[in-house]
Amino acid sequence: MLFTGRLTAKAEVNAVKGDKQVINFTVAINQKWKNKAGEKKEKTAFVDCAYWRNSGIAEYLTKGAVVEISGWMEAHGYQSKKDGIRARLICTCDTIKLFSLVAKAEPKAEEKETAPYTTGAVADDDLPF
């Protein structure tokens, strides 16, 4: 499966058995169209992602970053007490391509010298999610 979307929040690095780490994040995929009456319509699908290969990329996976994900997609169904039967899309990522980076928070004084420069700043208020 190959898809492009925006991260809904900062990626989390989680330790698993041994010295392995997994990066978990969610990608929003927006679809926009006009119906027969000319009204604009939009819907969003959310995909929970897990990336096992390189935890170093986690610092660039921030809210609003545009990414292209290639990997294995699965749907998991579950019973919700509130909403009944629900489903989640889950992707085990093979590759992650970054198309835009979101500016990081202003680094602390002692970190300013080594803080990496990022481009493509997007204000959090401008995001659709």
> Do the beta carbons of residue 21 and residue 13 sit within 8 Å?
yes
Is the confidence at residue 122, as pLDDT, over 50? no
Q: What is 2-97's CATH topology?
A: OB fold (Dihydrolipoamide Acetyltransferase, E2P) (2.40.50)
- Each residue of 66-113: pLDDT tens digit? 999 999 999 999 888 888 888 899 999 999 999 987 655 555 555 444
CB atoms < 10 A from the CB of 109, how many?
Answer: 7
CB 22 within 8 A of CB 93: no
User: Using an 8 Å Cβ cutoff, are 60 and 32 in contact?
Assistant: no
Q: By CB neighbour count within 10 A (0-12 exposed, 13-18 middle, 19+ buried), where does 98 fall?
A: middle
**Among candidate residues 89, 90, 117, 88, the one with its CA nearest the CA of residue 104:** 117
What global pTM score does this model have? 0.72
pLDDT at 19: 85
Q: What is the pLDDT of residue 87?
A: 87
Token pair belonging to 60: 């660039």
